[in-house]
């Protein structure tokens, strides 16, 4: 097994991971915006779809949504705790029967024949975690798709501002009193992060060139010491992703940068919008339109979204 795979497996297999991921839309506004964008796109993409494959499906945010629409879904993920959480939510929603849960790594999709699923999806970066095999994995996901593919991967232009803004996540905290550990960490370490920050142009340029925000060798050594490093994640440029999709025959490609609009708005205004249901719905609609403009697609937040036809 490759380092990216075993590092990902160790990180996502932490026992509380499913629980924490299922809570992200209650804690961070950028996650609300991103998942709302994907949900809108997905719901517009279901004509003629009877079967779907969700690669890196997590706690079932989208596999369960499709099962509720009557689609037979294969929920595929490297992490057993995420699958367990998804099973629990699917049972509560009454759609457990319509979902086949499979533990596996995207690096090996050889169990699936060509064109096995009407729709293939993979959201919020599982593809990026397969570095250095990310391009091959996209090719494999397209191979098993019969009609349509929808993916979101880590975005290079979207993520680079993190390297000059280590407190960026604070902008998106929904409730400062939340007991969520990540929220509390963002608040308690804010001043320390600002004090210890130094702008390092070479680090930025390195990440801009390589698409890697972490040091791969350091991550491997940390893994060997028994630690739990964050998954190695490959960040795509928009034109690069489009080229790969075209290379494998995807047509009518539509791309977006969820979070491009929201990142321009300060926290207290975002919180105000989110806490008023009518403003919130209108805001998420506007974000969806704005973030779908090809001129801002690179400047979404963590993710770059793409969809297209494979027929």
At its nearest, how many Å lie between ligand SAM and the CB of residue 292? 18
Question: Binder to ligand SAM among 32, 58, 142, 219 (CB under 6 A)?
Answer: 58
Q: What angle do CA 64, 67, 68 make, to 5 degrees?
A: 90
Tell me: does residue 106 bind ligand SAM (CB under 6 A). Answer: yes
Whole-Å CA distances, 253 to 48, 55, 239, 263, 307: 18, 19, 11, 25, 6
Tell me: does residue 78 bind ligand SAM (CB under 6 A). Answer: yes
Binders in 194-213 for ligand SAM, by CB under 6 A: none
Tell me: does residue 61 bind ligand SAM (CB under 6 A). Answer: yes
Binders in 20-39 for ligand SAM, by CB under 6 A: 21
At its nearest, how many Å lie between ligand SAM and the CB of residue 51? 18
Are 299 and 157 contacting, i.e. CB atoms less than 8 angstroms apart?
Answer: yes
Structural element, H or E, at residue 270: helix 267-274
Tell me: does residue 130 bind ligand SAM (CB under 6 A). Answer: yes
Question: Binder to ligand SAM among 126, 158, 229, 298 (CB under 6 A)?
Answer: 126
Token couple for 275: 């806490």
- Three-state DSSP class for residue 175: coil
Contacts with ligand SAM: how many residues (CB under 6 A)? 22
Within 44-180, where are the H helices? 63-68, 80-92, 134-143, 156-163
Phi, psi of 236 (to 5 degrees): -90, 145
Tell me: does residue 292 bind ligand SAM (CB under 6 A). Answer: no
How much of the chain is in helix, strand and coil states, percent to nearest 5?
50, 15, 30
At its nearest, how many Å lie between ligand SAM and the CB of residue 278? 26
The footprint of ligand SAM (CB under 6 A) covers 5, 8, 12, 21, 56-58, 61-62, 77-79, 82, 105-107, 123-126, 129-130
């Amino acid at each position: 097994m490759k380092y990216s795979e075993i590092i990902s497996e160790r990180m996502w297999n932490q026992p509380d991971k499913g629980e924490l991921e299922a809570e992200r839309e209650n804690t961070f506004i950028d996650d609300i915006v991103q998942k709302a964008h994907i949900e809108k796109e997905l719901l517009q993409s279901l004509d003629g779809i009877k079967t779907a494959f969700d690669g890196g499906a997590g706690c079932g945010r989208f596999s369960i949504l499709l099962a509720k629409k009557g689609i037979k879904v294969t929920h595929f993920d490297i992490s057993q705790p995420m699958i367990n959480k998804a099973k629990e939510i699917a049972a509560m929603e009454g759609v457990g029967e319509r979902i086949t849960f499979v533990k596996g790594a995207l690096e090996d999709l050889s169990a699936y024949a060509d064109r096995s699923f009407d729709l293939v999806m993979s959201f919020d970066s599982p593809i990026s975690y397969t570095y250095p095999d990310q391009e091959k994995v996209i090719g494999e996901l397209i191979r098993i798709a019969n009609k349509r593919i929808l993916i979101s991967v880590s975005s290079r232009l979207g993520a680079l501002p993190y390297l000059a803004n280590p407190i960026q996540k604070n902008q998106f905290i929904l409730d400062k009193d939340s007991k969520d550990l990540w929220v509390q960490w963002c608040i308690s370490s804010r001043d320390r992060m600002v004090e210890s920050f130094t702008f390092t142009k070479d680090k930025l340029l390195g990440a801009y060139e390589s698409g890697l925000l972490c040091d791969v060798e350091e991550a491997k050594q940390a893994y060997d010491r028994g630690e739990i490093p964050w998954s190695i994640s490959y960040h795509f440029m928009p034109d690069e992703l489009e080229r790969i999709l075209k290379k494998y025959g995807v047509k009518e490609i539509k791309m977006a940068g969820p979070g491009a609009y929201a990142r321009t708005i300060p926290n207290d205004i975002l919180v105000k919008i989110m806490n008023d249901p009518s403003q919130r719905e209108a805001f998420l609609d506007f974000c969806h339109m704005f973030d779908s403009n090809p001129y801002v697609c690179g400047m979404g937040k963590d993710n770059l979204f793409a969809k297209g036809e494979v027929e």
